[in-house]
Amino acid sequence: MVADKSYPTSAEAKDILLKEYPVKTARKRAKGIILNDPEMPPEVAANTRTIPGIITQRGCTYAGCKGVVLGPTRDILNLVHGPIGCSFYAWLTRRNQTRPTGPEEDNFIPYCLSTDMAESEIIFGGEKKLAQAIREAYAAFKPKAIGVFSTCPVGLIGDDVHTVARQMSAELGINIFGFSCEGYKGVSQSAGHHIANNQLMKHVVGKSDTVKEGKYRINMLGEYNIGGDAFVIEDLLERCGITLQASFSGNSTYDQFASAQNADLNVVMCHRSINYVADMLDKKYGIPWFKVNFIGAHSTAKSLRKIAEYFKSPELSERVEKVIAEEMEAVNAVIAEVRPRTEGKTAMLFVGGSRAHHYQDLFKELGMTTLAAGYEFAHRDDYEGRRVIPDIKVDADSRNIEELDIKADPELYRPRKSEAEMQAFAAEGFEFKDYTGMMPEMDKDTLVIDDISHAEAHRLVEMYHPSVFCAGIKEKYVIQKMGIPLKQLHSYDYGGPYAGFKGAINYYRDIDRITNMRIWERVKAPWQKNPELKASYGK
Ligand code: SF4
C-alpha cells in the first residue's frame, strides 16, 4: 500500500468497508477482506456463497461453462437448452476471437443457438424440444460435435440432457455431449469451468491420434483468446519453434481437444479455470505441467525460457533468446517513452481468477502501484498458493461438482520425463505443478478483497481515487460516474491484444492514455449536480 497521509491505512479502510453492513454480514465479509502478508499469506474466505442482497461481480455456472470454456471453440456447435435470455447473455460478450484455417472450416462462434424454452416446456418437460433442436441444428450446420448446455430451469424441472445427447448422438452419428451447468450449480462461474473441462476430458480428449509436426509440442491451458491474445502467443511460439498441439480454449477446435494427449508438455495460464485438467492429463497420459504467464513482457520472457529449459535443447533456448531480444527492443523503447507519465500512478484490480494477479505485472512495468486487488471467482489457492489445497474445506457447493477418477490410460500413458530426469529438475529448483498465488507477489498490507461488492468498490474508490480501476462491464459505468476510468479486463473494452510483448506494448499505450486523460476530472454524476435522496439501513 502506498504510504500517503491522505489515504486511510488498509486497516482503517477495512473498518470503513465493513461498518455499513449488519453485524452478521460484516462478520462474514471480514473473512474476505484481508491485509496482505506476502511472507505468510493469511487465509482468504474464497469460493464461498455471495451473501444475498450484496451486488456481486460474479457470473453464473452456465456462464463459466458455455461462455468461458466452450465459447472460444469454433467448430463445436453450442446449443443452449433454456430460456432465450440465458443465450443472449452469453452471446459474443467476451470478445473471443478465432481464426479458421480456410473458408471450408466451420466457425460457429458468431451464432447463438437456443431451444428457447417457454412455459409449456417448463410444465410438460423440454426433452422433446431439445431433441428436435439438435436435429434442426445438425441439418443446418452438419457439425462434427454438439455441446448441450443446461440452464437453471432445466435442472429445476429435471430434463435429462445427457440421455437426450446420447440418443441423438446414436441417431446422427456425431459426438454430442451435455453439460449439467445450471446457473445455480456452484457459487460462481468457477464451477462452470470445472463442469466444462470434465466433460471435455470424458467425451473429447483422446479421440484423435493427430500428432502435429514439431520437436517441441505443448498444450496451452487456460488461455481464452480475448481480443486476439492467442494470436500473439501463437506467433511467439511459432517463431521460437514450439508447436501448439492444443489450446484450451482460445482459437481452439474440436480436433485440437481430441488430440491433446499427444503434447509433451502442458503450460497453464489461468490456474483457476483449468489446473485440474493439467493434473488429469498428467495422470492419464504422463504429460507434466507448470504455470506460465504471458501477460507482461518480463513474465512472457520468463515463461518462454522455462518452456525451453524443460525441453533441454540448446537450439530451442537460442531461438527463444533471439525472439526475446528482438521483442524487448520495442518493449523497452515504449516503456522509456510512457513510464515518465505513468510512474507513481495507482491501480485497483478486481477481476477473474488470475487476471487480477497477471495484470499487476504490466502495472509494475509502468511504475504503477496496485492499491488493492481481488478475484471474483477464485479459490483460496489462487490467493495463497497451491500449498493450501489440502487444507481447503470441501463444502456442499464444491461436492456438487463431479471429481473425475482419473487413472493412467493403459495404451496412451507415456511418461514424458523419466524419474531420474524429474529428480534432476527438482535438484535444479525447476518447479512443476505449482503456483504461488497472488498474495506473495503483492506488497505487505495491501488490501486483498475476494468477491468485492459494488458498495465496497464504491467506498474504495471514494477513499483512494485510483488512477485506473480494472474490472468488468457491471462495474464499468458505476465507477466511471465517479470520475475514475475503468478498464475492462474480461472483454478489454474494445482494446487488446494484451498478451505477449506486442500485447504489453498495447497495454502500456492504453493505460497511458486512460490515466492521463483529463476528461475524468470533468465527469459529474447526476447526483453530484442535483440533490439526492438519503436513506439508512436499520440494523
Ligand atoms: S443464472 Fe440461470 S437463468 Fe440466469 S443466465 Fe445463468 S443459467 Fe440462465
Indicate the range of 92-101, 186-195, 230-239 predicted with least confidence: 92-101
CA distance 317 to 252: 27
Q: State the complex-level ipTM.
A: 0.98
What backbone torsions phi and psi does residue 56 show, to the nearest 5 degrees? -100, 160
Sign, CA dihedral 352-354-357-360, equals: negative
| pLDDT of residue 486 exceeding 70 | yes
Residue ID of nearest Cα to ligand 1 atom 8: 86
CA 457 to chain centre: 21
Cα 146 to ligand 1 centre (Å) = 20
Angle at 537 between CA 536 and CA 539, to 5 degrees: 135
The whole domain housing 138 covers 61-186
| pLDDT of residue 1 exceeding 80 | no
| pLDDT of residue 410 exceeding 90 | yes
Residue ID of nearest Cα to ligand 1 atom 1: 183
Q: Examine residue 177 and state whether it is found in any structural domain, yes or no.
A: yes
What backbone torsions phi and psi does residue 221 show, to the nearest 5 degrees? -110, 135
Cα 366 to ligand 1 centre (Å) = 39
CA distance 389 to 437: 12
Q: Is 387 a catalytic residue?
A: no
Query: Under the phi-then-psi rule, with left for phi > 0, alpha for psi from -120 to 50, and beta for the rest, what region is 472?
Result: beta
Q: What was the pLDDT predicted at 538?
A: 65
- Give the closest residue to 438 by CA, choosing from 492, 361, 342: 361
State pLDDT tens for residues 354-404.
999 999 999 999 999 999 999 999 999 999 999 999 999 999 999 989 999
Q: Examine residue 71 and state whether it is found in any structural domain, yes or no.
A: yes
Residue ID of nearest Cα to ligand 1 atom 6: 183
State pLDDT tens for residues 275-290.
999 999 999 999 999 9
Q: Examine residue 23 and state whether it is found in any structural domain, yes or no.
A: no
Given pLDDT bands bounded at 50, 70 and 90, which one contains residue 4?
low
Q: Length of the chain, please?
A: 539
CATH number for the domain spanning 174: value is: 3.40.50.1980
Q: Is 63 a catalytic residue?
A: yes
Ligand 1 nearest atom to the CA of residue 61, by list position: 6
CA distance 377 to 16: 24
Q: Examine residue 95 and state whether it is found in any structural domain, yes or no.
A: yes
Distances (CA, A) of 309 to 15, 397, 447: 47, 40, 36
Cα 150 to ligand 1 centre (Å) = 9
| pLDDT of residue 454 exceeding 70 | yes
- Give the closest residue to 72 by CA, choosing from 273, 223, 218, 235: 223
For the chain, give percent helix, strand, coil, nearest 5.
45, 15, 40
Ligand 1 nearest atom to the CA of residue 90, by list position: 5
Residue ID of nearest Cα to ligand 1 atom 5: 86
> Of residues 46, 60, 308, 470, which has the active-site annotation?
60
Q: What was the pLDDT predicted at 533?
A: 73
> Of residues 63, 133, 356, 457, which has the active-site annotation?
63
Q: Examine residue 154 and state whether it is found in any structural domain, yes or no.
A: yes
CA distance 409 to 285: 6
Residue 246 identity (one-letter amino acid):
A
Residue whose cell numbers read 507415456: 414
Q: Examine residue 129 and state whether it is found in any structural domain, yes or no.
A: yes
For the chain, how many structural domains are there in total? 1
| pLDDT of residue 42 exceeding 80 | yes
State pLDDT tens for residues 51-83.
999 999 999 999 999 999 999 999 999 999 999
Q: Examine residue 72 and state whether it is found in any structural domain, yes or no.
A: yes
Q: What was the pLDDT predicted at 212?
A: 98
**Average confidence (pLDDT) over 174-199:** 97
Q: Write the DSSP symbol of residue 207.
A: S
Ligand 1 nearest atom to the CA of residue 152, by list position: 2
Cα 520 to ligand 1 centre (Å) = 35
Q: What was the pLDDT predicted at 534?
A: 74
| Alpha carbons within 13 A on the beta-carbon side of 230 | 23
Cα 63 to ligand 1 centre (Å) = 8
Cα 188 to ligand 1 centre (Å) = 11
Q: What was the pLDDT predicted at 95?
A: 87
Q: Any residues with Cβ below 6 Å from ligand 1, and which?
A: 60, 62, 82, 86, 89, 151-152, 183
DSSP annotation string for 93-122: TT-B----SSTTS---TT--EE----HHHH
CA distance 507 to 299: 14
Residue ID of nearest Cα to ligand 1 atom 3: 152
- Give the closest residue to 243 by CA, choosing from 233, 251, 253: 233
> Of residues 74, 193, 272, 355, which has the active-site annotation?
193
Q: What was the pLDDT predicted at 526?
A: 80
Sign, CA dihedral 507-510-515-516, equals: positive
Q: Is 373 a catalytic residue?
A: no
Q: What was the pLDDT predicted at 105?
A: 96
Q: 172 and 135 in contact (C-beta within 8 Å)?
A: yes
CA distance 168 to 360: 47
- Enter the C-alpha cell of residue 79: 446449443
Q: Is 193 a catalytic residue?
A: yes
- Enter the C-alpha cell of residue 40: 505468510
- Give the closest residue to 126 by CA, choosing from 86, 69, 76: 86
Q: 222 and 99 in contact (C-beta within 8 Å)?
A: no
CA 263 to chain centre: 22
Q: Examine residue 395 and state whether it is found in any structural domain, yes or no.
A: no
